[in-house]
Chain A
Amino acid sequence: MPTRVLVPTGALGITFDRVALARGVAAKPHIIAVDGGSTDSGPFSLGSGTSKYSRAATKSEWRDLMVARAHAGVSLVIGTSGTCGTDATVDWMFEITRELAAELGQHLKVARLYCSQPPTHIAKALADGRITPLSPAPEISAKALGAMSNIVALAGAEQVQAALATGADIVIAGRTTDTAIISALPLARGEHAGAAWHGAKIGECGALCTTNPTGGVILLEFDRQGFTVEPLVEDACCTPHSVSAHMLYENSDPFILYEPGGYLDVTEARYEPLDARRVRVTGSRWVPSRYTVKLEGATLAGYQTSILAVLRDPHYVTHAQQWVDELHAYLVCQIAQRMGLHADAYSLEFRLIGMNSALGAMESRRGDPVEVGLLGLITAQTAETAEEIGKLVNPYVLHYPLTKDEELPTFAFPYSPAQSERGPVYEFALNHVMELNHPMQAFRLDVSEVGHA
């Protein structure tokens, strides 16, 4: 029996086509699976344990998916809830679900899959030799692990299957691999393992594998030999090219994909058009190996204050690099003199917008900009220090002259005050895998009933 997986969108929170979703429900899927997260936007979500998308956008889209689930009469699963998939964002998503169940008059069994890892457990695994660095990986120690604000392990198909096996109507999962929420049910039903993972990778970004990436909704059908992918937005098509090219996307290796318990090899995969809209894929291979899960962690890197000014005076625009180098050296002295802070106790970095702010030293072009923006980034161990440095540098950023004998210049500040507090900033601190004796060793399930009886 084939297994159909309905994927409404590549990420909950960026909307999808409601007509296409209804078409998907009419196609009688066995499960609806949606991704709720990504590391795309940087370390802040994981560091702070918060969602990057608004609660209102998340709730309105989740409402439509909960209604679609009720019509389809199947399970609805979300992976990497709340962008980062920490326990806190799983609970955030659970609270939204509970509100919606009450508002929609639904009575539901909800399984929560928790993926956060206590630093002490990871330190123990490190001491036991169960942690392996990937390339490249930051150095870690028990101390470094203890300093991380959040650590998650990426669940695979087995943990999602365990959550589905509770009979849950809705599974709210913490950090999972992008593919696991899609591959879990086809694998549990005995479909072709290579096809289950390959189809999951093709479908994990929703309609990005079609000719109309904005529509979102796709249907994947898995069987014993392969899988078929079909877009559900009216004017979208899947072609062998649009489908196979998706293996390139955000993948350092377009043929191999590592997952908990093995890897997918698509070197021999064949992509054939079934008709103008659908593509059939066979020949993908799943290669089992030892059971490891990937770890993600974030560490507080300090507190930041930024400052923005604009140079329009052509004399300063022409000499912007020289000006900013001299300004920087002068400010380091001022901060040392007035605050008693040595340069290694904080970071003050200036970037010239209009010259090389996106690419830095790699920039190969020199232009002739009308104006140059000066972005100053101040990072310190406390928010107070960063703010104090921001206030100290403010008048110099406004008035610093290129030469001693000229009248003080005054550059354009776009708002008042020119410096802004950015709060805590984080950095990714783990690129490792952890070996497990059994898949649920590092994960927890919690099942509860919500809504009207």
Chain B
Amino acid sequence: MPRLGDRVLKVRSKNAGPFWVTIDVFCGSAEVFEQVRHELRTEAVAALFQQPTQLVKRFDIADLNVIKFSFPRPVVQGARTDRDMHGAQWAILLAELDVRR
């Protein structure tokens, strides 16, 4: 299966303050960036994190060959039911997403 993480340089995630999480896909080259930006649909990312698509902000940054997604944390950082204080493991879900060429 062509997993996103196998095709790009790095996928990382982190809180952007206690109420948001942000995920950066470092594509590594203009070629991979052009491919991935077309194949990676915002709807698929929203579904992966079980969020409504309209809440997901997306930035395709050609200068950096980066695709960035930000959305409100469904559980506020550190709230009783939060499972990942820094939101850094969320990236793994996206890295493991099957992205067909």
Contact = CB atoms under 8 A, between A and B. Distances in A.
On whether the two chains bind one another, the answer is yes
Contact of B76 (A362, A379, A427): A427
A252 B55 CA distance: 12
A359 B84 contact: yes
Contacts of A41: 85
Interface in B42-85: 48-50, 57, 59, 61, 63-64, 66, 68, 70, 72, 76-81, 83-85
B17 interface: yes
A413 to B, nearest CB: 23
B80 A364 contact: no
A22 B83 CA distance: 42
Contacts of A244: 63-64
Given A136-B19, A244-B64, A357 B80 contact: no
Contacts of A255: 59
A48 B86 CA distance: 19
Contact of A347 (B66, B80, B83): B80
B70 A357 contact: no
B66 A42 contact: no
Chain B interface SS verdict (over half): loop
A427 B79 contact: yes
A71 B22 CA distance: 41
A242 to B, nearest CB: 10
B89 interface: yes
Interface string B20-39: 10101010000000000000
B72 A248 contact: no
A365 interface: yes
A340 interface: no
A254 B61 contact: yes
The list of the 5 closest CB pairs from A to B, nearest first, reads A42-B78, A252-B70, A252-B16, A43-B78, A428-B18
Interface of A: 39-44, 134-138, 241, 244-245, 248-255, 301-302, 347, 349, 351, 357-365, 377, 379, 425-428, 431
